Amino acid sequence: MAQRSLIVVTGGSSGIGLALARRLRRPDADLLLVARGADRLAAAGRALGCETLVADLASDTGIAALTAHLAGVGRIPVLVNNAGGPFRTPLLAHDPDEAREAIELLYLAMVRVTAAAWPALVAAGGSVINVVSVAGTVSTGASPHYAAAKHAASAWSRGLHVEAAAVGVHVLTANPGPVATAAFPHEQLRGHRWLRHAVIDDERCAEAICRALARRRAESFQPEWWRIATVAQAVAPGTMARLARRSRERFG
């Protein structure tokens, strides 16, 4: 009996996740979209004619539900870790609850979902796409708990790329810059004469990620010129901090 093959996309009800799901689906594998919002997820599932699973991946219950759903799956050719949300409380508010929530959703959920899918990923010689963010490399001061969790996720994903290669699994760390989505509309940036060019839409972002996947890249930026900012962060952190402060003064 042939093993069931399943492509899994978390955070797949809208934005980057849904755009990736459209591009990754293929005739030799089923498609599963996972998200917290039932209504939007159902609409996405109907549009793509695929399976859906309502699950909060920051919770034990959500992880258990996904693990149970994957129990009969023999092969996972692609796993997309994209579940996310905004965390905008300033650090000076010293809000440990938001810090914990950000870590659980943006970092630990990636770890736990990948662990649940791992046997089927290895069986398929599959790929993991970890959608992180340039915020995981460049400190801007905006959405600081989000950025801190993305820093953790980025470090984990880079390490996983190294270790996973030994068992035939490819890991891509995707670092989008500002992407206009429902959770992150970036209205102020989009309204600026020059900075609007720094914002891309989810379709363009997904297309770039899929190109990097096809080339089996270890890491990619969307757009690629954001890589310059990561170099600047490492070489001149003081300069980047001053630029971040000016940006916050102007855009909040």
What residues make up the domain containing 188?
A: 6-251
Residue 137 has pLDDT above 90, yes or no: no
159 found inside a domain: yes
68 found inside a domain: yes
Query: Phi and psi of 180, rounded to 5°?
Result: -75, 110
Per DSSP, what are the bridge partners of residue 233? none
1 found inside a domain: no
Q: How confident is the model at residue 252, as a pLDDT? A: 53
Q: What type of residue is 205?
A: C
Residue 144 has pLDDT above 90, yes or no: no
Q: How confident is the model at residue 250, as a pLDDT? A: 61
Between 204 and 126, whose confidence is greater?
126
Whole-structure pTM value = 0.89
Q: How confident is the model at residue 1, as a pLDDT? A: 46
Question: Which of 35-39, 59-63, 157-161, 224-228 has the weakest average pLDDT?
Answer: 224-228
pLDDT category at 85 given cuts 50, 70, 90 is: confident
154 vs 173: CA distance, rounded Å? 7
The contacts of residue 145 (CB under 8 Å, 6+ apart) are 87, 89, 91, 95, 98, 99, 101, 102
Instruction: State percent of the chain over pLDDT 90.
Output: 65
Phi-psi region of 11 (alpha: psi -120 to 50; beta: other; left: phi over 0): left
143 found inside a domain: yes
Q: What is the pLDDT of residues 232-242, one digit of tens each?
A: 778 887 876 77
Q: How confident is the model at residue 174, as a pLDDT? A: 97
DSSP SS3 for 18: helix
- Report the CATH number that the domain containing residue 113 is assigned in CATH: 3.40.50.720
41 found inside a domain: yes
Order of strands across the sheet with 6-10?
51-54, 30-35, 6-10, 78-81, 127-131, 170-176, 219-222
Q: How confident is the model at residue 189, as a pLDDT? A: 54
Work out how many domains the chain is built from and give that number: 1
Q: What is the pLDDT of residues 25-55, one digit of tens each?
A: 999 999 999 999 999 999 999 999 999 999 9
Q: What is the pLDDT of residues 169-193, one digit of tens each?
A: 999 999 998 776 666 665 555 545 5
DSSP string, 43-102: HHHHHHT-EEEE--TTSHHHHHHHHHHTTT--B-SEEEE---------GGG--HHHHHHH
193 found inside a domain: yes
Is 107 marked active-site? no
Among the options 146, 156, 184, 226, which is catalytic? Answer: 146
73 found inside a domain: yes
- Nearest of 157, 186, 153, 182 to residue 172 by alpha carbon: 157
117 found inside a domain: yes
Residue 220 has pLDDT above 50, yes or no: yes
